Structure 1
Amino acid sequence: MPHGSQPSRDLTAVQVNSGERQVTLLNLYNAPPRTVDSGEGLKHLISQSLPVGPCLVAGDFNLHHPQWRTNATITSPGAEPFLQWADQQGLHLTLQPNTPTRGNSTIDLVWANSPLICQGTHTEPAPGFPALTDHIAISTSIHWHPVNNKKPVPPLRMATMQEDIFHSAIHKEAAALGEPPPTQLDLTPEALDQYTSAIIQTIKNALEASTKRAHANPSGHRWWNEDLRQAKRHYWRTQLDNFSDSKDIFKAIKWNRTEGTFPTPPLKDGNRVHTTANAKAELLVKTLLQKAACTEDVPVNCNNPEATLPFPDVTTGEAHQAIFQAKSSTPGQDEIPNAVLKKAWPALGSHISALYKHCATTGWHPTPFRQALLVALPKPGKKDYSSPRSYRLIALLSTLGKGLERLMARRLAWIAIRHKILHPQQFGALPCRSATDLAAALVHDIEEAWARGLSASMLTLDVKGAFDAVLSGRLIQRLQSQGWPSTMLHWVLSFTQDRTAAIRLDGHQSPTFAVPAGLPQGSPVSPILFMLYVEPIFRIGPMIAHRGRFGYADDICQLVISKSLEENTTRLQSIATDLIEWGQREGLTFDLAKTELQHFARGWKRNNPTCSIQTPEGTVEIKPPQLNEATRWLGIWFDRKLKFRIHTQTLAAKAKLAANGIQALANTVRGVKAPLLRQATIACVVSVLCYGAEAWWPGRRRLRQDLSGRQKLISNGVGAQLACLDRVLRSALLGTLPVYRTTRTAILHRESAIPPVELLLDQRRRSLAIRIHQLDIQHPLHLRVTHQPNRYISTRLLRAADPKNFHLIEQVDPLLTSPWDSNLEPKERPTTTPKAQAREEFQKWLDFIPPLSMVVYTDGSKGKEGTAAGAGWAGYWGTSKTKIFSGHAKLPNHEVFDAEARAALLGLQAALKDPKTQHSTNIYICLDNLEAVQQLQSQPKGSSQLIFMNFQEAARAWPLHPRAPGIQSGTVQVKWVPGHTGIEGNEEADKEAKMGCYAPLELPPPPASLAAAKRAAQRVHWQCFAQFWAEKASKCYKDLGIGIEKRPPELQLP
């Protein structure tokens, strides 16, 4: 019906009623200029008053304004009067700005008043809907049906926790639990469930006693006028000016980039549309969780008498690490965040450790840990969010249970790599294995093929459903064949079976339902279990195909190499057929809609063959992209000639969003302080611009040998890519510093201490070269660098790693020690003790050591100039404090930390050679470096690893050392001594260490330590930055002698 007291054919109203609910829909046609009745529809609309209840105003407005088209060059005359009227009526634009509705223009608009906004609306283009003339149809969904009347319990506000009350309550509750059950006692699954529930309830009681809940009252309707706008502006300006922590700035940038929170749109199931929260939740469960073909599962048998893999008892140190090395995450239904578990550890640590030990021994995952709260998160970049496959269900699990799962995941990952269960090129939730490592290995293989005159082709496949498609029976069968012990199989079976969940969607929580199959997304152990489940994928087909098969979780890539692209496609067809047939037998399918083909060839070859894959449903033809396009895999865009231009353009566009957010937080007058913005620029812009540099960045130039045998530098043709990335970095630096837009780029780099992109990318290459020395020998990058049969082949990876000089830096094995070999929870460091008090305590300890003991003081030193460090040691006899030996050594290309480790080893070796060892019981190694003290007593994983291991081996052999009759055996103990406090032995060792810096060099010199290599890489990086500044600095800066500083003092100015 026409709307208003004076009806107009340009304004029509419809009232929709259902029970007690009513909504008014107004449709407007505003004739454009120079037509019949131009602007009359709009005039009629703004002369009316809207109903008080929910109301929607939509139609063809034929108005141009920057509010809905930010790049509009003109503003229609009627736009401002309409906006004033809309503000008075409380209307809000629900259509996303800059959404084209006719050509490139935005002239069809949708507005809703506050009552309707609170009810829930979602507006988006509907290009598939039949449209009139040349306009795009606009779809608006209204959350019509009422949500669950049951009011949810408001969440706990952790910021209100009173820690003194919590600690008092948790100790009181823990005392009521009694003593933890001994490890020798066998607990049944029912007893473990009861024990788990008791621990959870203990923590919840302490939380309820010490923490407030959020207010249950909803916020009022928001209405704005000019006074409130000014108050809001003043509030946010004050907030930005008072930011003092990096967390504040990252929250502000995240908020600035957030698109907003809207109700889930109606979901489609074929021709059927689901609009209620319950119906949408049921569809998500049906599509994403119950699609696994459970009928294809196999009977379960967890007994494995032929188990070959180790799985020792859980240690207290493992339990401690599982809790304290975890990042903060959203809690599950028990509302216990991980930070609370850390606070509760002093009272409940023994109970948590006992629970984890008994669960691993019994092979049982407690039932309370299998209750999940599912949250539907939209997958970014999807075009159609009405499809349930555009969402990912993330399981919010008990953080206490995730600690146990994290412990198991670390064990599984270490054993799978150490015992070669997984293929070397199967990556995912594994230590020292990143997506960029895999991409770098792939680029190396392609360039190596080119150097041999061959062509390469890549086919990417995606396992459909991934975690949700795992069947428990087949998973147990797979683990059984791999040699896992029975207790582990029982634990995995209990982890995967009898799971329950509820979905939280649009403020509504569905009833609890059973999850028939799959692994929960959000569990720390799910990724490694999935990798073990699909492990046979990497052993299917001929051996020649195995080296070219790469995988990261459920993303599989097959690289084939031959003389022609046509031969490559033939091989890929055969390999894809084998994989699909294996998937059919195992109940897994590959999503061929996501399968992509990419050819790699040099020269001017224009052939671009397709790949036809045979499936049970028929033949699927996979077409490669056009010659100037690229294929995305693991976040990197691979193009035909590995120029990576599309990749850098994509990175620049993504980083520009963060740069815009940084610019919005400050200007030359007010805003966030420059040091905080610098942190944000490095974390949010630089990290994006440099993503994947280890794989794609070739350097600006490279050496090439000409026909005469001479080497010369040639350009890699990356100038345009660097310019593209530098423009974005400049934009971010303009927001970081309080400067004008005309400020020279070199000055921006100097004042922010952030180098140009080229130097940042070069530093990534140097870091990669050093990092390869910290990888295990089975890692694909380590294998490619150390096993290169042809020394004339040059790739990006080999140019960065320099295989000829690879042996000049020490090699560290990150998997040398197992997770269960970790020490008990670390003791509190004595750094807070005043030096005078620490000296007095050490002297008292020294007076009461056994008289037949040796005390060896060791120290490391390094001069201000030069790259050599010195190690010094001095030995004293018992309580008489008589000096019996001393010595020093020069260590080129070592740092002070390495010298401390070497001094401890050399000091111990000197003590073992001294004649008084026959009359000694204990040997005390005293040094003033806390980190070295801990590494000497634990499992070293970093620089000087071999030195620490040799020290521990010598210490273990000391009790067996021959002694004089009547002398008891003793141990080697490491003791921290406060440095530079006048303790005689420490001062003597310090003198010896300084002498060692300038002592003659022993031949052959040891390899450079990792710490020294990292320091050298940083030194080269800043030298290149200084050279850049010397070339680009303006005359006034040169005249003042202003150079490059790592932390410019100007950044600290208010």
Structure 2
Amino acid sequence: MLQTVKTWAIKPSGAASLRCAEGVPVRVITTGSAMQWSLDASCAADRTSRSAGTAVCETSTPMHKTLSILQLNVRKRDPVQQSLMNDEDLKDYGVLAVSEPYARMIDGKVVTSPMMHSNWTKIVPTHMNDGLWPIRSMLWVRHDVEAVQIPIPSADLTAAVLRLPERSVLVVSVYVEGKGTEALKSTTGLLHDLIQGFRQGSGARTDVVLAGDFNSHDLLLGGDDISVQRQGEAGPIIDLMNDHGLRSLLPRDTKTWQGKDQESTIDLVLTTSELADEVTTCAIHPTDHGSDHRAIQTTFDITMVERSATPRFLFKNAPWNLIRSRVKDNLRLLPWAVDVQTQTDQLMRVVLGAIHELTPRARPSPYAKRWWTQDLTQLRRTHTFWRNQARMQRRAGQARPDLEQRAKEAAKEFHDAIRHQRRAHWDDFLSDDANIWKATKYLKVGKSTTGDKVPPLRKGGGSTTEDKADQADDLLRAFFPPLPATIEDEGMRPQRIAVPMPELTLGEIEEKVMTAKPWKAPGGDELPTAVWRQLWPVSRDRIFALFDASLRDGVVPRQWKNTKIVPLKKPHNDKLISANCNRTYRR
């Protein structure tokens, strides 16, 4: 796939080739075929697109077989960030890497826009700057992708390790301040330490993706249009690439930033060589959100966890008369003289069958926020169209001021509509007294950098948990420690007189069913108590027979031995802790 050829030399260069005064020694990067793409044999000729001497192999892969990352510098603009987060075309991406996000410091807490999203887990830097704009990078990781944040002492870098089925991938959102070289040297130094520590701490293959705004220019990255005054700014980036075997994925001379009268390549995607061989796409994303930077989409041929959404039952809208009739008819056919486990299995089979067949299911939650409308989506498309028209004419050497002005007007109209729609929706929401408690919840701002997810746990030997299964095992051992290997005989102890066990009655069971909280969190069968209340008239005899047989025979059905335990992390604690820390987890 992508191969970068670099030859360093100090030699005179003619003005025609590098726009440099004749005879002045400069450091020249001889790229030759600096961005050389090799075509996989499986790619047909008609599926290969050629642009500026670069061939890109496009493959059609199921979404769960690819990892897609999108990066964008939103320039601290709320409408741009809201447009990005409400773009439904991005819902299956694995990561959104945002540079210069719209994030404010309010009452000592970082407030982002939005604060939360149903599709994403927010990750902000572990270090904050003083002032109004506390962070200049962040990540949004798809909620079903397991990610572990790595702390970095910089508000310009956000790093997380994605725990994928076959490997771990370190993804870093990068922002480099564009004033002077010290910021770039400091950032590349931190990235060097980060990559080195990640590789030393992993005993397996280590893949790295650095994506963001590097604010530096170089012939190797930006093409032949780089002026001699700006050439060489990316020296620390080139050194970082050489030290860690990184390669630039974006085709050379791809313009990622547009100023008033100029364009340049300052947004980069750098990956390790092994991961670069698995790239299927690295190009400008077609949708324009209104920033002066272009969004970059990168897709890797990496196996991802296939998304599986279990539809939620709408029990409050269920046809209970029909369900009761179905359960009654099916229970009538079942035998009575069977063991406890068989009684449980056949009862659950009949009830679950009727519930799954007759109960309506909720539609999947919409990706976009409730205030987002189709009119806003259409305005975004209109803005993208005029922006592309103006850009196409400008790059053809036929700049048209009327198209440039139309693109600016479309962007302003789009962003003003976003602000107006959000404000109108919020005012309507607050006008309903029933929403007062929801509004209070939305206004609460947490200090956690990764939401409410359980951080990695420190094990006894000093190592940390690797994934969710490892975390669950560690928490279970802490909550329910194993019995001692040997238990000494306690000998003879005084015995109390046995209390006679009264016969179980149907009324006792009915009282417990009817007094239990109807919508309390269900067990593994996902049936709340409200379901058993509704089915009590047709199932009470079977339920009574089951409980009576269980007490009489001393047998507990398999279904009753399984439970679901949810550890709740106490707020404002993102430190690496042990599962035995009772101050951190509520059992």
TM-score with structure 1 setting the length: 0.25
Larger radius of gyration: 1
TM-score by length of 2: 0.42
Higher relative contact order (CA 8 A, sep 6+): 2
More helix by share: 1
